[in-house]
Amino acid sequence: MLAVLAALAFLRPVSAQSLSASDIAVVTQNLATGAQHSWELGTRAQALLNLNVPNFSVFTTTGLPPPTSVPSNTTSAIAPVFSIAHNVVTKLNASSGPTPLIVGDGAAGDPPSIGVAVLLANWTGQGSDGTDYAKAALNQLDYTLNVVPRTPDGAISHRAAQVQLWSDSVYMVPPFLAYYGLLTGNTTLMDEAYNQIKLYRNYLRDSHANNLWQHIVLGTSGQDTGNDFGHWSTGNGWAAAGMLRVLATMKNSPFSKSFSSQQRDLGNWVKEIHSAMFAHIDNTNIFTNYADQPISTSGMFYDAASTALIASTVYRAALLINDHSHLPNAEKCRQALFAAPSNSSSNLALVGRAPGDNSTSSASHNSASASASQSHVSSSSSASATAPATSPSATTAPIKQLAHFSNDGWLQPVVNPNQFGVQGSNSPEGQAFVLELQASYNEWVAAGSPGANAARRTAATAGWASVVGCIGLGSLLLFV
């Protein structure tokens, strides 16, 4: 009987634990204050669309392209996205020809991340004030396709100064190309989004590491930034999340049928990353900064940011490609990330901190002296067009006590977003990943938690054996 009760306990619905509305508000506010760099602005725009304005997200359930006008009850939810686009585009010279959306960013691949917000602003008529969003998007497209250096086989560099490929780029560039193709009816561009991902996978997938993706390959450190052959957890997350955005853009578009093989490949490549990553997660259910390097590795630390990003892509995969195999992992990650302190190892933040590292990301947010070899931002030309640097420290109400959040509402522990090998304190992209996790989880629940049985079945395997055993025993007793 005890065995049966235990088995039934395993069969309770998947926990509905999630952040409260006020927690989400604090996380959102910190993201708004902290996001300054090009990729942070683009990542913030995506998170806000996905969480707050799903009808204008590529993950919409109402089909693409999105509506050409914003319903009055949606205006305030989408306003921060348009404000990102407006702030960026009004700093540009529309007549200048091929130009990135943020001029002087050493990373050619990061400014296009803002492109979806800019295209959406054009599409919904925000340019009636004279701001030429379409021209800014076209200039970014021309710059990406025709100015940025490429590998001989056509992979568009993540860096401007030399050909170098970063896994990050998969989130920043192909979703923009696909969205541009969607809104202009240009299937060549949609195909190019796929092609770029395919090329990036060829360079970055490490078949000697069970298909984890490396972080940075090609190029020389003397000229620009160094390589990082490690399997950076956030980079694997960027790649999976970027692929899912392109997949969703194709799938929800009028051209879906002509892109079926591309969608199938993208789905398989996402699953490939999930399988590679989850093979390494330890019993904290939080990834280490380099997924295949255990926490005992010198200088290694846990990274809640990549964990949130990867988990979000599992719920997306459940909805988009009906892959449920990693839902049990994602549920464990989500529950660990949003747990109260008493239930989890609340001092994870201190585990594995590199000796002598008291770094905070705020210290290097607008610092051109942050080691160029470890920074998204070029040492020579940082932030010429980014908003004035402000301290990302929170001015918001305290968050309820949660193991993986500071009292002022920052996810922790996290990698320093400007120095990928080093633990930081406040990560704007980490805040965006929390919102992505919440958004994808909400949508998964709203869709009826497809595959939740898979999530339960794994946990219940042992329990089921007992149930079957008991029923078998009961039948035996009845029939004897």
Please give the residue ranges that form the binding site for ligand NAG (CB under 6 A): 17, 55, 62, 71, 73-74, 93, 95-96, 119, 122-123, 134, 137-138, 141, 145, 183-184, 186, 188-189, 335, 339-340, 342-343, 356, 358
- Taking Cα atoms as reference points, which of 132, 140, 134, 143 lies closest to residue 42? 140
The dihedrals phi and psi of 77, each to the nearest 5 degrees, come to -65, -35
Please tell me the distance from the alpha carbon of residue 246 to that of residue 171, in angstroms, as a whole number. Answer: 9
**Token pair for residue 116?**
């979806």
Which of residues 183 and 248 has its CB atom nearest to ligand NAG in the complex?
A: 183
> Which of residues 74 and 453 has its CB atom nearest to ligand NAG in the complex?
74
| Residue (71 or 398) nearer to ligand NAG, CB | 71
CB of 214 to ligand NAG, least distance (A): 29
Nearest to ligand NAG of 145, 459 (CB atom): 145
DSSP characters over 186-248: -HHHHHHHHHHHHHHHHHHEEGGGTTEEPSEESS-TTTS---B-S-BHHHHHHHHHHHHHHHH
- State the nearest-atom distance from the C-beta of 479 to ligand NAG, in Å: 41
CB of 155 or CB of 216, closer to ligand NAG: 155
**Are 14 and 391 a contacting pair, CB within 8 Å?**
no
Minimum distance from residue 79 beta carbon to ligand NAG (Å): 13
Q: How far is the CB of 179 from ligand NAG (least distance, A)?
A: 9
Distance, CA of 212 to CA of 214 (rounded, Å): 7
Q: How far is the CB of 253 from ligand NAG (least distance, A)?
A: 14
Name the residue nearer to ligand NAG (CB basis): 148 or 270. Answer: 148
| Sign of the torsion formed by the C-alpha atoms of 437, 440, 445 and 448 | negative
Q: Which is nearer to ligand NAG, 7 or 116 (CB)?
A: 116
We find the least distance from the C-beta atom of residue 154 to ligand NAG, in angstroms, to be 13
Least Å distance, CB 49 to ligand NAG, is 12
Peptide bond into 328 cis (omega under 30): no
- Of 251 and 271, the one with the shorter C-beta distance to ligand NAG is 251
| Closest CB 332 distance from ligand NAG, rounded Å | 11
Cα–Cα distance list, 72 to 77, 295, 350 (Å): 10, 49, 46
Q: In the bound complex, what is the minimum distance in angstroms from residue 139's beta carbon to ligand NAG?
A: 10
Closest C-alpha among 404, 410, 290 to residue 362: 410
**Distance between CA atoms of 467 and 141, rounded to whole angstroms?**
59
141 vs 415, beta carbon nearer ligand NAG: 141
3 in Cβ contact with 470 (< 8 Å): yes
CB closer to ligand NAG out of 140 and 233: 140
Question: Taking the complex as a whole, how short is the minimal distance between the CB of residue 172 and ligand NAG, in angstroms?
Answer: 18
Angle 423-309-451 from CA coordinates, rounded to 5°: 145
Element containing residue 79 per DSSP (H, E): helix 75-89
Tokens of 291: 């997924």
What residues contact 93, with CB distance under 8 A and at least 6 apart?
99
